[in-house]
Amino acid sequence: MIRLLGALAAIVLMFIWLSPEPTPSNDAPAITLPPTTSAQGSALQAPIQIPITQSSPHQLEKYTLYPKADIHFSARLLSKEYYRFDRESDLSPVDLALGWGQMANPTVTNQLTISQSGRWFRWKTDQLPIPRKEIEISAANVHIIPANDHIKDQISDIKEGEMIRLSGQLVNIKSDDGFYWNTSLTREDTGGGACEILYTTHIERLPDPFQ
């Protein structure tokens, strides 16, 4: 009897070993990444920009805005600076310095001294924590044109160091008196004219993936 039971057990084990792996059913629930993973992926991603090939300019007081691209930033707010007395402040009362990729990582940005003035975004450091080129292409000074008072209030509420999602249109601007102001359309440039002019239609806070 003992020998018979042992033989039966061996046969059962052999069938289990030879059985193929089960294939997943089409009805199986999809795997959802945790929010922190999604947020980190977003923070490490460069801004998503989609060219606008056909659009009508729109009027904002005495200025005409010409949309050039839709853009979506997921980034850390490195600095925020308000302006009141320059011509540009008629449209854009605030600039946001944004960082993504390694420039969203506090381990990197804590080694930089970041400032804004005169519509410029500047950084300096005694020792580069990452290559200079990576700093240059992973941060931007964005001139904000709020689409409405709600957006303006939201921008007032966000604080330096927070992770945010910012969307809208990059625009060129002209007025009848000869004033013009053109946006950058690439993250690769530096110096004069390298800032983005964003007609801002959406802003929200994001979870901090580095905490």
pTM for this structure? 0.80
Which pLDDT does position 34 carry in this prediction? 34
Nearest to 195 by CA among 102, 113, 108, 83: 83
| Per-residue pLDDT, 40 | 56
Q: What are phi and psi of 71, to 5 degrees?
A: -145, 150
Q: Domain spans of the chain?
A: 44-206
- Alpha-carbon distance 25 to 92, whole Å? 54
pLDDT per residue as tens digits for the range 126-162? 999 999 999 999 999 999 999 999 999 999 999 999 9
One-letter identity of residue 4: L
pLDDT of residue 44: 73
Mean pLDDT in each 10-residue stretch from start to end of the chain (211 residues)?
41 36 32 40 83 92 96 97 96 98 96 97 96 97 97 97 97 97 96 96 95 88
- Residues whose CB is less than 8 angstroms from the CB of residue 171 and which lie 6 or more positions away in sequence, other chains included: 65, 66, 67, 68, 145, 183, 197, 198, 199
Write out the two tokens for 44.
Answer: 């490490």
Q: CATH for 44-206?
A: 2.40.50.140
CB 141 within 8 A of CB 92: no
What pLDDT does residue 38 have?
52
3-state DSSP call for residue 67? strand
Maximum Cα interatomic distance, the chain, rounded to a whole number of Å: 106
CB 164 within 8 A of CB 75: yes
